Amino acid sequence: MPITTMPTIPALANALPRVEDEIRQLATSSRLPIVNSFAGRLTAAGGKRLRSVVLLAGSLALAGEVPDRAVTAAACVELLHAGSLVHDDLMDGAVERRGVRTVNAEWGPGPAVLVGDFMLARASQAALASISPFAAEQLAAAVTDLVEGQVLEVLDLYDVHRSPDGALRSIALKTGALFRVGCVLAAHCASAPEEVTTRLSEYGAHFGLLFQILDDLLDLTSSAERLGKPVGNDIRQGVYTFPLLRSLTEGQRELLAERGRDLGETELAGLLAGLRAGGLVPETVAYCRNLADQTAQALPEVPGSEALDVLRRLPVAYLDWAVSQIA
């Protein structure tokens, strides 16, 4: 994983366990042990913590240290992300996430709504109490973006005429917004001026797009062992993603138009093999290389900052790691 290179900067290496502590405290702060057990279990199961690394490195680059408020902000962003995944798993009917059974599979759909809600509410409370009203407002705005991005996805399910731009609009909201708000909070916690905040937030928005496009590519091209779930789930669920839409042949589009909702496993395997034999991987990787460059170029200038170098290298490092996950 590229992010294992991050803790080579001592200030980041020291901050990440503090983020974990704050996530655990927030996720297990209900009066009801059963809520703590579900929210705590998902957050303890890890994840890449990419949003935290970006936020902490951003604050470190701009402030010369990792302010306590940035540690709290990272925990809030991760808790909000995890809460959105609880809802996402419910919508997907997913049974496993990060190697643990999902809340909907284990406890049921209604409780999964409630556990997700609890996590979102706690993230907002912590931001208001321990960072600032501005931080709480920004996080709440990100929640509305996530919801709208997800709604756009739902509206386009099984639509073979969904445009690649339509898919981009959805992922800019459902994923880009949270990376972006992490960067806004990084700048806020470092008391950075407005133009610096704007540039760092552009970096976050681009990084979020890059992350989601690669996530979508791996859904089509990785292996069940590496993904921790079957490949092709997006197509099974009718989510026709940006990399898919850009590389479908007319024949493949017709197959989805005719059989999309009833696509059998053999047909899906044939479609995935056809996509692999066509331009899917090289075209998506080329698009992502360009996007990774744009992401790095959005960064504000901070002379001599090691943390800024980390942020500059991270998009390509993440892209290279994703390419290594293609089966």
Report in angstroms the alpha-carbon separations of 195 from 55, 62, 75, 129, 204. 17, 12, 25, 27, 14
x/- contact string, 82-101, with ligand FPP (CB under 6 A)?
-xx--xx--xx---------
Q: Give which of Mg ion, ligand FPP, none residue 309 binds (C-beta under 5 to 8 Å, depending on kind).
A: none
Q: How many residues bind ligand FPP (CB under 6 A)?
A: 14
Residue with tokens 């990376």: 179
115 or 280: CB nearest ligand FPP? 115
Joined tokens for residue 28: 């297990």
- Least spacing, CB of residue 286 vs ligand FPP, in Å: 22
Tell me which stretch binds Mg ion (CB under 5 A): 3-11, 92-100, 135-143, 216-224.
92-100
96 or 117: CB nearest Mg ion? 96
- Least spacing, CB of residue 228 vs Mg ion, in Å: 12
Is 145 near ligand FPP (CB under 6 A)?
no
Q: Give which of ligand FPP, Mg ion, none residue 162 binds (C-beta under 5 to 8 Å, depending on kind).
A: none
Is 147 near ligand FPP (CB under 6 A)?
yes
Select the residue interacting with ligand FPP from 19, 53, 120, 255 (CB under 6 A).
120
Give 97's strand partners: 100
Report in angstroms the alpha-carbon separations of 326 from 27, 139, 281, 320. 33, 33, 9, 10
132 or 150: CB nearest Mg ion? 150
Q: Is the Cβ–Cβ distance between 179 and 211 less than 8 Å?
A: yes
d(CA 62, CA 1): 25
Helix (H, G, I), strand (E, B) or coil at 101: strand
d(CA 276, CA 255): 16
Phi-psi region of 49 (alpha: psi -120 to 50; beta: other; left: phi over 0): left
Tell me which stretch binds Mg ion (CB under 5 A): 90-98, 246-254, 261-269, 287-295.
90-98
Query: Which of these, 110, 192, 115, 177, lies nearest to 140 by C-alpha position?
Result: 177
Is 88 near Mg ion (CB under 5 A)?
yes
Is 92 near Mg ion (CB under 5 A)?
yes
Select the residue interacting with ligand FPP from 49, 51, 122, 174 (CB under 6 A).
174
d(CA 3, CA 202): 21
Is 309 near ligand FPP (CB under 6 A)?
no
Q: Is the Cβ–Cβ distance between 2 and 211 less than 8 Å?
A: no
Report in angstroms the alpha-carbon separations of 140 from 74, 76, 308. 15, 11, 27
Q: Which residues bind Mg ion (CB under 5 A)?
A: 88, 92
Q: Which residues bind ligand FPP (CB under 6 A)?
A: 83-84, 87-88, 91-92, 120, 143, 146-147, 150, 174-175, 215
